[in-house]
């Protein structure tokens, strides 16, 4: 078979999708279908936490025995559950990416302190319905209007996004009695986690003495530098029990806030190079850090201020990460300001992931059986095994590419997205049957050249594509600016977006390749 450019494009994109789904490139090397178990949480007061085990680390061995999966891990951890109160075992926990294992004396509490989960087999994140997670309904306290609630949602959205949570959705719902609640769903999180994320109001305050100089939000803080000179984690130092890193970034203050700074500092004494009072930062009324003020700033209306802080960890790498997280959090609060209102959690539920794993297996099995059925039918119809193999392979590749794109854009795969993939594959097979009937099948007009017939087939496919495309567009929420589909929650959006991705891949990538393959097979027959 001759590989035309279109076939090459198809093959290369399929391969790239495969890579994007299953292969992880990290500073520690390239890994495929990683072994080990993923640490989902570690009790912060535990010894093993002190020794350096953190969430998101991958445990690859315990006492020299390889941990390849969850069952294996549970087997190795079993002896610890039988230990008496003060008994411990000297344990070496091998962690991917760490040169030396974590070594310590651990007792039966190890089992409770460390929660692990299965390594994800692909990098695709699954939605709440497949993975489980937590969902909260919150009420905005006080007398609020609909636009107030929109403000709260945008601040929440902004904040959760900056914390790095992509698999979440926030929406408005009207409860009985027309009261508007906010629903927040985060896949893969626990109710406690979710609660801690939303109950923090994020009220940032900078005080000199007892006087508030400025607060978070764009009224006082006009600009927060998130990159550029003097921004980022700067020096790290090792200390006896670990390491810490400092971060700094600059912010611009509004003229009013700058005047307040001048007022607050003008009567302070100068002690050495600094003023007698520090500038102290509070988040939700808890002091987080204090900075000395250089003596030459006394009484001046400062519009640019450098904010700094630090993060600590067991080694420099974890200290760096923790400083970076702290910085991001502080920047977010300074940008978004505090939530304009206090929130009250009405209901918080854990969504069980119970069905998750078996369910995915079932879907895969259903898909496989459906494919075999389709393949048999197509083989019977066209009496060409080669063709039906290409057809099925093409559909597999399309699924792979759709998932690859979902992975790239951090799309959350949920049930309705799976329905979308099914719809796209179904119409894809339809299109390929049109191509086959127009070009290969004997009942087509012999007077026409194959080029003409293929052209007509492609015309039909593009027509069907355009029609389906516009039919799905109102459901994607992309027309939200027209007020269409914006409030239709995640479900319809998931379906429409995945279907559109799928049919686009079909019509632009895999159909052209299929046409080239069919032409060659047709050529073989002559």
Partner 1 sequence: MKFGDWYNKNYKKTLILPAVLIVLSVIYIAIFYSQTGSFFYMDVSLTGGTSFSIQTNYSQSDVEKELSKNFDDFTVKAVSDGSGNQIQLIITAPESESDAIQGGIEEILGFKLSDENSSIEFTSSGLSKTFLDQLLIAIILAFFWMGCVVFIIFGKGGKIKFWLIVANLLFAVFLGNFFMQINPIISWIIFGIFSVSLIFVYLKKSVPSFAVILSAFSNILMTLAVVDLMGLRLSGAGIVSFLMLIGYSVDTDTMLITKLSENNKAINHTIFESFKTGLTMTCTSIIAVVLALFVVYPYGTVLNQIFIVLSIGLTFDLFNTWVTNTAILKWYFSKKREDKK
H helices, E strands: number in the chain: 15, 22
Angle at 415 between CA 413 and CA 418, to 5 degrees: 70
Options 352, 449, 524, 525; binder of partner 1; rule CB under 8 A = 352
Closer residue to partner 1, CB minimum distance, 73 or 495: 495
204, 338 in Cβ contact below 8 A? yes
- Pick out residues in 152-181 that bind partner 1 (CB under 8 A): 171, 173-176, 178, 181
Closer residue to partner 1, CB minimum distance, 49 or 137: 137
12 near partner 1, judged by CB under 8 A: no
Closer residue to partner 1, CB minimum distance, 78 or 355: 355
Closer residue to partner 1, CB minimum distance, 19 or 478: 478
Rg over alpha carbons for the chain, rounded to the nearest Å, is 29
80 near partner 1, judged by CB under 8 A: no
Task: State the burial class of residue 280 (Cβ atoms within 10 Å of its Cβ: 0-12, 13-18, 19+).
Answer: middle
Options 103, 459, 508, 523; binder of partner 1; rule CB under 8 A = 459
Options 312, 345, 464, 478; binder of partner 1; rule CB under 8 A = 464
Closer residue to partner 1, CB minimum distance, 337 or 485: 485
- Pick out residues in 300-319 that bind partner 1 (CB under 8 A): none
Residues 6+ apart with CB under 8 A from 379: 385, 388
Distance, in Å, from the CA atom of 291 to the CA atom of 279, rounded to the nearest integer, reads 5
Residue 105: both structure tokens together? 């004396």
- Pick out residues in 231-270 that bind partner 1 (CB under 8 A): none
Options 485, 509, 513, 514; binder of partner 1; rule CB under 8 A = 485
- Pick out residues in 118-137 that bind partner 1 (CB under 8 A): 132, 135, 137
SS3 44: coil
Considering only the stretches 18-26, 140-148, 320-328, 485-493, report the one whose residues sit in contact with partner 1 under the rule CB under 8 A. 485-493
Closer residue to partner 1, CB minimum distance, 238 or 466: 466
DSSP H or E run through 92:
strand 89-95
CB of 71: closest distance to partner 1 in angstroms?
18
Reference 126, options 402, 485, 362, 403; nearest CA is: 403
Residue 282's beta-bridge partner residues? 205, 287
Q: How many residues bind to partner 1 according to rule CB under 8 A?
A: 83
Q: What are phi and psi of 37, to 5 degrees?
A: -125, 150
- Pick out residues in 354-373 that bind partner 1 (CB under 8 A): 354-355, 358-359, 362-363, 365-367, 369-373
Q: Looking at 132-254, list the stretches that DSSP marks H as alpha helix, in order from N- to C-terminal side.
A: 146-162, 191-199
Return the biggest CA–CA distance within the chain: 100
Which phi-psi region, left, alpha or beta, contains residue 184 (left: φ > 0; alpha: ψ -120 to 50)? Answer: beta
CB of 92: closest distance to partner 1 in angstroms?
31
Q: Looking at 32-183, list the stretches that DSSP marks H as alpha helix, in order from N- to C-terminal side.
A: 47-50, 70-81, 109-113, 128-131, 146-162
Options 3, 15, 377, 508; binder of partner 1; rule CB under 8 A = 377
203 near partner 1, judged by CB under 8 A: no
CB of 446: closest distance to partner 1 in angstroms?
13
What secondary structure letter does DSSP report for 272?
Answer: T
Closer residue to partner 1, CB minimum distance, 119 or 473: 473
Residue 252: both structure tokens together? 């611009």
Considering only the stretches 155-163, 209-217, 222-230, 410-418, report the one whose residues sit in contact with partner 1 under the rule CB under 8 A. 410-418
408 near partner 1, judged by CB under 8 A: no
Considering only the stretches 95-103, 156-164, 297-305, 348-356, report the one whose residues sit in contact with partner 1 under the rule CB under 8 A. 348-356
Closer residue to partner 1, CB minimum distance, 362 or 451: 362
- Pick out residues in 417-456 that bind partner 1 (CB under 8 A): 418-419, 422-424, 426-427, 429-431, 433-434, 437, 441, 443-445, 456
Residue 102's beta-bridge partner residues? 93
Reference 508, options 472, 474, 450, 465; nearest CA is: 465
69 near partner 1, judged by CB under 8 A: no
Residue 243's beta-bridge partner residues? 238, 313
CB of 492: closest distance to partner 1 in angstroms?
7
């Amino acid at each position: 078979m001759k590989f035309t450019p279109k076939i090459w494009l198809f093959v290369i994109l399929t391969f790239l999708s495969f890579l994007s789904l299953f292969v992880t490139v990290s500073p520690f090397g390239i890994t495929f279908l990683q072994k080990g178990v993923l640490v989902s949480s570690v009790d912060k007061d535990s010894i093993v936490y002190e020794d350096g085990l953190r969430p998101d680390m991958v445990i690859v061995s315990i006492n020299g025995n390889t941990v390849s999966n969850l069952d294996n891990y549970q087997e190795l951890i079993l002896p610890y559950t039988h230990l008496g109160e003060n008994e411990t075992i000297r344990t070496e926990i091998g962690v991917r990416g760490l040169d030396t294992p974590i070594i310590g004396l651990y007792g039966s509490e190890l089992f409770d302190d460390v929660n692990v989960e299965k390594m994800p087999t692909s990098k695709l994140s699954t939605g709440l319905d497949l993975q489980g997670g937590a969902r909260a309904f919150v009420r905005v306290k006080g007398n609020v209007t609909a636009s107030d609630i929109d403000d709260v949602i945008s601040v929440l959205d902004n904040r959760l996004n900056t914390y790095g949570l992509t698999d979440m959705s926030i929406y408005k719902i009207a409860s009985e009695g027309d009261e508007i609640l906010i629903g927040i769903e985060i896949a893969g999180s626990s109710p406690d986690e979710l609660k801690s994320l939303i109950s923090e109001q994020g009220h940032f305050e900078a005080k000199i003495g007892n006087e508030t100089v400025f607060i978070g939000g764009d009224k006082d803080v006009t600009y927060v530098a998130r990159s550029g000179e003097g921004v980022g984690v700067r020096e790290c130092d090792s200390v006896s029990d670990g390491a810490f890193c400092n971060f700094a970034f600059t912010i611009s203050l509004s003229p009013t806030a700058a005047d307040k700074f001048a007022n607050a500092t003008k009567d302070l004494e100068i002690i050495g190079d600094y003023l007698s009072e520090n500038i102290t930062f509070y988040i939700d009324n808890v002091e987080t850090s204090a900075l000395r003020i250089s003596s030459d700033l006394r009484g001046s209306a400062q519009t640019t201020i450098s904010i700094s802080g630090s993060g600590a960890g067991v080694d420099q790498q974890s200290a760096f990460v923790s400083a970076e997280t702290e910085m991001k959090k502080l920047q977010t609060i300074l940008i978004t300001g505090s939530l304009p209102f206090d929130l009250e959690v009405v209901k918080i539920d854990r969504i069980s992931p119970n069905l998750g794993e078996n369910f995915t297996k079932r879907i895969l099995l259903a898909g496989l059986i459906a494919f075999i059925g389709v393949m048999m039918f197509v083989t019977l119809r066209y009496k060409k095994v080669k063709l039906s193999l290409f057809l099925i392979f093409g559909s597999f590749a399309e699924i792979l590419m759709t998932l690859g794109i979902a992975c790239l854009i951090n799309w959350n795969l949920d049930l309705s997205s799976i329905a979308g993939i099914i719809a796209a594959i179904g119409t894809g097979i339809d299109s390929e049957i049109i191509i086959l009937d127009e070009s290969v099948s004997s009942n087509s007009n012999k007077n026409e050249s194959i080029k003409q017939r293929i052209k007509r087939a492609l015309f039909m496919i593009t027509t069907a594509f355009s029609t389906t495309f516009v039919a799905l567009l109102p459901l994607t929420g992309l027309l939200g600016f027209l007020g269409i589909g914006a409030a239709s929650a995640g479900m319809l959006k998931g379906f429409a977006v995945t279907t559109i991705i799928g049919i686009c891949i079909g019509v632009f990538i895999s159909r052209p390749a299929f046409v080239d393959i069919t032409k060659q097979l047709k050529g073989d027959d002559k």
